[in-house]
Structures are given as structure tokens and as C-alpha cells.
Amino acid sequence: MNVTVRGRSRAHRTVTFDSGQNEVLLIEQRLLPHEFKIVATRNFRETAAAIQNMIVRGAGAIGATAAYGLAQGARAFRGSNLPKFSAQLDLVQHTLASARPTAVDPVNALIKIRTAMDTGETVAEQQSIALAAAEEFANEDASHCAGIGRHGANLIRDNMRILTHCNAGWLAFVDIGSATAPLYAAQAAGRKFHVYCDETRPRSQGATLTAWELAQQKIPHQIIADNAAGHLMQRGEIDLVIVGSDRVLGRTGEVANKIGTYTKAVLAKRHKIPFYVAIPLSTLDWNLKRGLDIPIEDRHESEVLGAWGVTKSGKREFVRVANPTSGVRNPGFDVTPAELITGIITPAGIFKPTELWKKRKQLGHGG
Ligand code: MRU
């Protein structure tokens, strides 16, 4: 997407790879919306740390980062001993896959790259396949998001008010975004609409990342406190909800997404407002049989006790808000059951959540 910083506009992808330096290049998302900066990770451990510390975040973006991290780890290996190379790859894969547990995209990306690498007969061959496969994953993520846009744009009519939660914009993917793709496609088709961005405490991805993206894209929007959505729905001021997801169960249609998504889905059902989830195919988990088995990341208490921001002089600071001696429970994600979801917007079309298993071939599972 085009990013305009200090009046200069340039196209950016969220995640790219510098093959000469063997470095992964990432937008430092923790600094947004106050500063736009690209950072480089020099080895697979730094790449895993960037995922864990949320320099890069969002299902597709961490999927592509893990893919490039695996290629980076593979390319750093010296020698031609295949069993030693394979042991090193296992370590790299494990380190990247365990950086964040809830999103399935990194796991799917890593499996895809390892499977592609198996066709190489030497270390050198496998190293070059790893990078090609990582590039392919990143390109596919962007083209899947474009496909989501084509299908999802049909849901948006003139003057609609659309609610979204957390950030499922282009920063959360390689480009375009999942929940934002229909918005960008509808805007390109000349439709006029308004977006409400849930603030999304505790990390405020809606207020910082989605709002920044929509402002960059000149889409009319307002940030609302997480608690405001029910009130707006009750007054008929929200017509449609579109969110992203970190993992959708192909067998049941259950959707894991940023904490608070389930609450919004319950409210939407109560007010008969269509509730859609937009995903690329890498977000589908065909193995798990029930939502209760989705690993939910427990995050640090400091996220709830305070917040990061910038002072008037532009200095980035953490301020304490809550009573410091109180305990905190901070689950990062929740699971929305299929019955609350109107449809899953995919690059292959829009499906009812309970239809996914029946449509699995179309959705890229099992040939
Ligand atoms: O900021 P994160 O990585 O903790 O949150 C993940 C997400 O971006 C969201 O859950 C998002 O809505 C779906 S993933 C594109």
C-alpha cells in the first residue's frame, strides 16, 4: 500500500527480504502511528523475537515473517551435510512457530516451506528453494487479500457504517489486509461509507494501526471505545461488521481473533447485524476439532495496567493507568462460534462457517 510520510508517498509491503544481507525487513509497528520506521532482523532468532515482541503483528504478516525467517535460518547454514542441515532447520522452525501461539498462519507457512524444500537434493538447492517458497507465500498472501477484496466489496453499499475490531489491515498482512480489503475495493469502486474502528484495548491496534491505515487511505472513519459498539448498534448506527482472524477451524467454522471479537459477534446477533470474518487461506486450520483446543496467548499484565504513547515532545513513554498492586488476567484472543458468524470472506468466495469443511478442496485443503 502507499504510505505517505512527511508528504512523500511510497509503496510498501509490511514484510520483505534482503537476500544480499540475509535480513528480514519489517515495519516497526510498535512505533505507529507516531513514527514510520523499517527495521532489519539479522538472524532467525531476531526474526522470532520480532514476532514475539510485536514489532510485526497480525496473522498473515507473522506468517510471511516466519516464512522468511526459515529461509534466513536455512541460508545461514554453512556446509553440505544434509542431516546436520535438517537438524538446524528443525530448530529454526520450532523457534519461529512458537514465537506466538494463536495464529495458525506461521505454522502453515513453515510447513509449506519445509515441504517445498524436500524436493531439493543438496543443501544449496534447499536453501534456494526456501527463499523462493517464502517469496511465494508472501506473494500469495497479497493476492489472497486482493481476492478477499473482490468478493467482500459486494457487501458494502453506499452510506453504510461498518465496524471493525483490532487490526486486520495491510499491516497485519503483506499487503492490502483481510478485513480492510473489501473497504479498499469498495472505495476504488466509488462507494461512500464510514468505518468505526474499535480501539481494541489493551494494545489498541484499532486506535493506532487500523485508524492510521484508514487515514493513509483517506477512508472516513472514527475510533470508538471498545464499550461503545453496543450502544451504536442499539441506535441503528452500525450496518455491518467485518473482522479478521488468527485461526479459523475448517471443521467447525469457529473463529479465533483478538480479544473482544466474541463480544461484538454476540452484540451483532442481538441486533441482527451481519457479522463477517475475512481470511486468506493460510488462516484455515484443518486439524483442530474444537475451538476450545485453540491455544490462546496469555499476555503480559503491563498491557492492562498501562499504555504506551508519545509525550508532547515526541518521546515514546509507558504510563501506568491502573492500580499497580492489582492482579491482571490478559487473554489475547477469544473464539467466536460459527452460529454468530454470517459468512467467511475468502479469496475463493464467501462461505457460511459451517460450509468450510464441505468446500475444503476449493479452499486449498487436500488437493
Ligand atoms: O496484534 P496481535 O498480533 O496480537 O493481533 C492479531 C491481530 O492482528 C488480530 O487478531 C486481527 O484482528 C486478525 S489477524 C489479521
Domain identity same for 310 and 164: yes
Domain identity same for 16 and 58: yes
- Whose CA is closest to atom 1 on ligand 1? 57
361 falls within a domain: no
pLDDT digits (tens, 9 = 90+) for 219-245: 999 999 999 999 999 999 999 999 999
Domain identity same for 137 and 167: no
Q: Is residue 277 lining ligand 1, measured as CB closer than 6 Å?
A: no
pLDDT beyond 70 at 10: yes
183 falls within a domain: yes
Contact 10, 1 (CB under 8 A): no
- Whose CA is closest to atom 6 on ligand 1? 58
Contacts of residue 146, defined as CB under 8 A and 6 or more positions apart, other chains included, come to 176, 181, 347
pLDDT beyond 80 at 199: yes
pLDDT beyond 80 at 288: yes
pLDDT band at 284 (very low <50, low <70, confident <90, very high): very high
pLDDT beyond 80 at 45: yes
Which ligand 1 atom is the nearest neighbour of the CA of 59? 14
Domain identity same for 229 and 203: yes
360 falls within a domain: no
pLDDT beyond 90 at 196: yes
From 86, 116, 146, give the residue that closes a domain.
146
Q: What is the DSSP string of 182-197?
A: HHHHHHHTT--EEEEE
**CA separation for the pair 335, 3 (Å, rounded):** 33
**CA separation for the pair 159, 165 (Å, rounded):** 20
CATH number, domain with residue 91: 1.20.120.420
Return the closest-CA partner of residue 13 out of 33, 28, 27.
Answer: 27
Opening angle at CA 100, ends 74 and 94, nearest 5: 35
Domain identity same for 132 and 99: yes
Q: Please give the tally of structural domains in the chain.
A: 2
For residues 13-26, average pLDDT: 98
Q: Is residue 164 lining ligand 1, measured as CB closer than 6 Å?
A: no
For residue 65, the CA-to-ligand 1 centroid distance in Å is 14
For residue 166, the CA-to-ligand 1 centroid distance in Å is 6
Q: Is residue 166 lining ligand 1, measured as CB closer than 6 Å?
A: yes
pLDDT beyond 70 at 146: yes
Strand arrangement of the beta sheet that strand 38-41 belongs to: 15-18, 23-27, 38-41
For residue 260, the CA-to-ligand 1 centroid distance in Å is 12
Q: Is residue 208 lining ligand 1, measured as CB closer than 6 Å?
A: no
Domain identity same for 202 and 230: yes
330 falls within a domain: yes
Domain identity same for 137 and 116: yes
Domain identity same for 211 and 93: no
pLDDT band at 307 (very low <50, low <70, confident <90, very high): very high
Domain identity same for 170 and 283: yes
367 falls within a domain: no
Work out the mean pLDDT of the chain and round it to a whole number: 97
From 146, 176, 199, give the residue that closes a domain.
146
pLDDT digits (tens, 9 = 90+) for 313-351: 999 999 999 998 999 999 999 999 999 999 999 999 999
**CA separation for the pair 330, 301 (Å, rounded):** 6
Contacts of residue 104, defined as CB under 8 A and 6 or more positions apart, other chains included, come to 59, 246, 247, 282, 283, 284, 285
pLDDT beyond 90 at 209: yes
Q: Annotated catalytic, 293?
A: no
What is the chain's length?
367
For residues 284-306, average pLDDT: 97
Cell of 95: 523457534
pLDDT beyond 80 at 354: yes
Extended beta strands in the chain, E state? 2-5, 8-11, 15-18, 23-27, 38-41, 160-164, 193-198, 221-224, 240-243, 247-249, 255-258, 275-278, 284-285, 306-310, 316-320, 333-336, 343-346, 349-351
pLDDT over 90, % of the chain: 98
Domain identity same for 93 and 211: no
For residues 127-137, average pLDDT: 98
Count other C-beta atoms under 10 Å from residue 315's C-beta. Answer: 8
pLDDT band at 292 (very low <50, low <70, confident <90, very high): very high
Domain identity same for 129 and 232: no
0.95 exceeded by the pTM?
A: yes
**CA separation for the pair 319, 159 (Å, rounded):** 38
Q: Is residue 167 lining ligand 1, measured as CB closer than 6 Å?
A: yes
364 falls within a domain: no
Q: Note down the domain range covering 51.
A: 2-146
Cell of 178: 483481510
The type of residue at 302 is S
365 falls within a domain: no
Domain identity same for 126 and 201: no
Ligand 1 mutation target, pool 257, 284, 335, 344, most atoms within 8 A of CB: 257
Q: Is residue 51 lining ligand 1, measured as CB closer than 6 Å?
A: no
From 97, 113, 146, give the residue that closes a domain.
146
pLDDT beyond 90 at 367: no
Question: Active-site residue among 105, 226, 246, 334?
Answer: 246
* pLDDT (0 to 100) of residue 366: 82
**CA separation for the pair 146, 156 (Å, rounded):** 16
For residue 210, the CA-to-ligand 1 centroid distance in Å is 11
362 falls within a domain: no
Distance of CA 145 to the CA centre of its chain: 11
Q: Is residue 204 lining ligand 1, measured as CB closer than 6 Å?
A: no
CATH number, domain with residue 236: 3.40.50.10470
* pLDDT (0 to 100) of residue 241: 98
